[in-house]
């Protein structure tokens, strides 16, 4: 989620090992998150059970400034799957040419240098144990990445909510991995914005409609994670009245349901509730934690300086099919407090999910 108190600076891109296009799950090329991924004949396709999601707010900046802290977290949790949002690395392709959202830009000296910084970070332990897939924007904006342990080779990787499409979602907002027993959906939902404009309310309504259509037509259990840019209930924000009454430069939308902080308007929350209800989906964190936790119960925190100090929201989720709810062992946020401890330099903290083995 973009910070509401000020625009996110456009400094520092994110980089990752390049992977191939959609459909099958190809090997990660040399120099990627750990190099080759040869698969022994007869290797068993195991099911992922430990997951980590994080809006890094520029993966390159995190690699430069916060990688030891994040690496320690990954080593301690040992997730089978890591999902990143807001990687903010541009896709490969020279100026004016078609872009390749599967690969990191490296056609200039600065982009090559930035790419190497990120690839080195992703080649160091424990990240060398993972394959990496990218879905990138044309510029240093949005974008997602998926890291999967090499022994858990997915059957298929795609990059659109339309499973028949070969193209990526605009701005690299989706990576979908199909495993034998489930789908894993990594999304960076567009911010609702403040106005009735094409890139604000209208864009988010279209996104929510497509998410609903997607969850209704999948044929396997779903694990959906990422920065979903919505706080479902009042318990999911630190100061409900503050967020309900928030305005941008005094502007009040004509529809009361669209008033308030992006991510906490009634219209967004009702659409999200409808997605969960119709899709027979469960919020894994709230399934285990039904009390408000002012210390550790939020995934996004406002700037420690200014009017958003101490104002926090839970907008990063693991959502699972009802069929999986009895397998939820743990779902935790790994940041706490208004000083953003455990956020590893981002304005979002990592969130983890643990499932028990399939019965």
In a domain, 320, yes or no: yes
State residue 44's pLDDT score: 54
State residue 303's pLDDT score: 87
Residue 348 assigned ligand-binding role: yes
Q: pLDDT tens, 102-121?
A: 999 999 999 999 999 999 99
Greatest Cα pair distance in the chain: 63
Residues 6+ apart with CB under 8 A from 13: 58, 60, 88, 89, 90, 105, 111, 114, 140
State residue 197's pLDDT score: 85
On the question of pLDDT at 20 being above 50, the answer is no
On the question of pLDDT at 41 being above 90, the answer is no
Residue 347 assigned ligand-binding role: yes
Supply the range of the domain harboring residue 115. Answer: 50-355
Angle at 215 between CA 359 and CA 147, to 5 degrees: 65
In a domain, 6, yes or no: no
Residue 16 confidence class, pLDDT cut points 50, 70, 90? very low
Q: Which residues are catalytic?
A: 188, 227, 348
Residue 6 confidence class, pLDDT cut points 50, 70, 90? very low
On the question of pLDDT at 164 being above 90, the answer is no
85 has which bridge partners? 55, 144
State residue 162's pLDDT score: 95
Percent over 90 (pLDDT), the chain? 80
Token reading at 19 = 């992977």
Place of tokens 């101490």: 310
Is residue 335 within 8 Å of residue 301, measured between CB atoms? yes
Residue 55 assigned ligand-binding role: yes
Residue 229 assigned ligand-binding role: yes
In a domain, 252, yes or no: yes
In a domain, 35, yes or no: no
Strands 281-283 and 222-227: unpaired
* CATH code assigned at 135: 3.60.10.10
CA distance 281 to 198: 29
Q: pLDDT tens, 42-54?
A: 445 678 999 999 9
- Sign for the CA dihedral angle at 239, 341, 297, 192 comes to positive
pTM over cut 0.85: yes
In a domain, 309, yes or no: yes
In a domain, 60, yes or no: yes
Residue 332 assigned ligand-binding role: no
Task: Cis check for the bond before 223: say yes or no (omega within 30 of 0).
Answer: no
Q: pLDDT tens, 198-246?
A: 889 999 999 999 999 999 999 999 999 999 999 999 999 999 999 999 9
In a domain, 321, yes or no: yes
State residue 8's pLDDT score: 38
State residue 250's pLDDT score: 86
CA distance 101 to 16: 11
In a domain, 30, yes or no: no
Residue 162 assigned ligand-binding role: no
Token reading at 254 = 């004509």
State residue 46's pLDDT score: 79
Domain count, the chain: 1
CA distance 91 to 48: 28
């Amino acid at each position: 989620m973009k910070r509401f108190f000020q625009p996110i600076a456009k400094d520092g891109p994110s980089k990752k090992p390049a992977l191939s296009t959609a459909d099958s799950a190809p090997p990660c090329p040399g120099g990627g998150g750990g190099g080759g991924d040869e698969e022994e004949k007869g290797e068993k396709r195991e099911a992922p059970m430990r997951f980590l999601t994080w809006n890094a707010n520029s993966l390159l900046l995190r690699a430069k400034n916060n990688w030891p802290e994040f690496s320690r977290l990954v080593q301690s949790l040992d997730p089978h799957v890591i999902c990143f949002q807001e990687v903010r690395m541009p896709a490969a392709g020279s100026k004016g040419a078609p872009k390749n959202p599967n690969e990191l830009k490296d056609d200039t000296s600065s982009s090559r240098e930035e790419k190497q910084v990120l690839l080195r970070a992703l080649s160091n332990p424990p990240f060398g144990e993972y394959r990496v897939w990218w879905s990138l924007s044309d510029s240093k904006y949005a974008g997602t990445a998926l890291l999967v342990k090499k022994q858990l080779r997915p059957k298929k990787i795609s990059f659109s909510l339309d499973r028949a499409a070969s193209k990526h979602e605009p701005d690299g907002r989706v990576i979908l991995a199909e495993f034998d027993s489930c789908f894993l959906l990594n999304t960076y939902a567009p911010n609702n914005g403040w106005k009735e404009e094409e890139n604000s309310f209208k864009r988010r309504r279209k996104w929510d409609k497509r998410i609903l259509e997607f969850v209704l037509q999948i044929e396997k259990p779903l694990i959906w994670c990422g920065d979903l840019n919505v706080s479902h209930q009042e318990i999911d924000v630190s100061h409900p009245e503050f967020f309900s009454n928030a305005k941008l430069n005094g502007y009040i939308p004509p529809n009361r349901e669209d008033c308030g902080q992006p991510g906490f308007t009634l219209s967004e929350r009702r659409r999200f509730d409808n997605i969960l209800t119709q899709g027979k989906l469960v919020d894994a964190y709230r399934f285990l934690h039904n009390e408000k936790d002012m210390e550790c119960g939020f995934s996004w925190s406002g700037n420690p300086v200014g009017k958003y100090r101490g104002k926090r929201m839970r907008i990063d989720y693991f959502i699972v099919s009802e069929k999986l709810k009895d397998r939820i062992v743990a779902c935790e946020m790994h940041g706490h407090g208004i000083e953003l401890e455990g956020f590893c330099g981002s304005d979002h903290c990592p969130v983890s999910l643990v499932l028990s083995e399939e019965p």
